[in-house]
Amino acid sequence: MTRIVSVEGIARRFPGLTVFQDVWFGIERGEFVCLVGHSGCGKTTILNILAGLDRPDAGNIVVDGMEITGPSLDRAVIFQGHALMPWLSAEANVGFAVSCRNPGWGKSKVRDAARAALAKVGLTDAAARKPSQLSGGMKQRVGIARALSVEPKLLLMDEPFSALDALTRGSLQEEVSRLVTEAGQTAFMITHDVDEAILLADRILLMTNGPQARVAEVVHNHLPRPRIRADLHHMPGYHPLRDHIMDFPITRSRTLAGTAPADYDARNPPAVHLGG
């Protein structure tokens, strides 16, 4: 595989407080990576730096050979809130992103691309509705369609399902997994939901508690795809994988917070292979 993202020693500091430091990791092309950690360890800040919406106090991030200096359509974000423009229809919200990505396209071509993106998330019949006429799950589907419509090099997700009910969250997680796999899309998501990470990720980065948070361990998830949430607990290797990850935020993240073993290498955190 080819590495498309290199996070190189980034840190976020305030006077008297280092939120995280010496964070290193890479993402391979077509890989789905989840970052798991308690509130306060800087997960959202790391995603915002990847999106170009924030700058690190140390280190840098390279995407496809270019250092990030600001936002780009090469990196699409699905936010925790839907972030749709309320005065535009679902089709127009997606079409706006398509037209930004392809400024030379005519209206009919943009419309066709927007409709095709909505069809992929099952919203063909809701194309003319405005956000106020959509359920929470439908709004997030529009956000997913909008992000994927620009064919980004990197899809970034900031806990996009956390505000949804359990049934809607589960169906959207599976849908995102399917769409990302079908498109060969590279994806990075932050979450505190262990089962969500197991369902979606190829690798799971475990962060210690802040302050001075860091990536303490990398878990390689070898559960076979496709993965269905309702069937996860029946899959061989699932329970050892889940138990290992659950033990981290409960015990090990606190033990390691602010300190590191003598043999710890920030550039190559300990790796664990589970699930297969």
CA atoms within 13 A on the CB side of 216: 25
Using the predicted structure, report yes or no on whether residue 262 has a pLDDT greater than 80.
no
Asked if 239 contacts 258 with a C-beta cutoff of 8 angstroms, the reply is no
Helices (H) and strands (E) in the chain, counts: 8, 11
Residues 6+ apart with CB under 8 A from 155: 75, 76, 78, 147, 148, 180, 185, 186, 187, 188
Average pLDDT over residues 137-150: 93
DSSP per-residue codes, 130-145:
-GGGS-HHHHHHHHHH
Tell me the pLDDT band of 1, cut-offs 50, 70 and 90.
low
Using the predicted structure, report yes or no on whether residue 257 has a pLDDT greater than 70.
no
Residue 35 or residue 182, greater confidence: 35
Average pLDDT over residues 23-43: 93
What pLDDT sits at residue 256?
67
What confidence tens digit (pLDDT) does each residue in 199-248 have? Answer: 999 999 999 988 889 999 999 999 998 888 889 989 999 999 999 999 88
Cis before 211 (ω within 30): yes
CB-CB neighbours of 94 under 10 Å: 32
What confidence tens digit (pLDDT) does each residue in 62-117 have? Answer: 999 999 999 999 999 998 877 899 999 999 999 999 999 999 999 999 999 999 99
Average pLDDT over residues 121-144: 94
The domains found in the chain, sorted by start residue, are 3-74+190-274 (3.40.50.300)
What pLDDT sits at residue 258?
64
The structure tokens listed for 23 are: 């964070």
Q: Residue 242 is inside which H or E element, if any? A: helix 238-247
What pLDDT sits at residue 275?
87
CA gap 32, 184 in Å, rounded: 10
Average pLDDT over residues 186-193: 93
pTM equals: 0.94
Tell me the pLDDT band of 34, cut-offs 50, 70 and 90.
very high
Looking at the chain, the whole-number percentage of residues with pLDDT higher than 70 is: 97
Average pLDDT over residues 8-27: 95
Tell me the pLDDT band of 162, cut-offs 50, 70 and 90.
confident
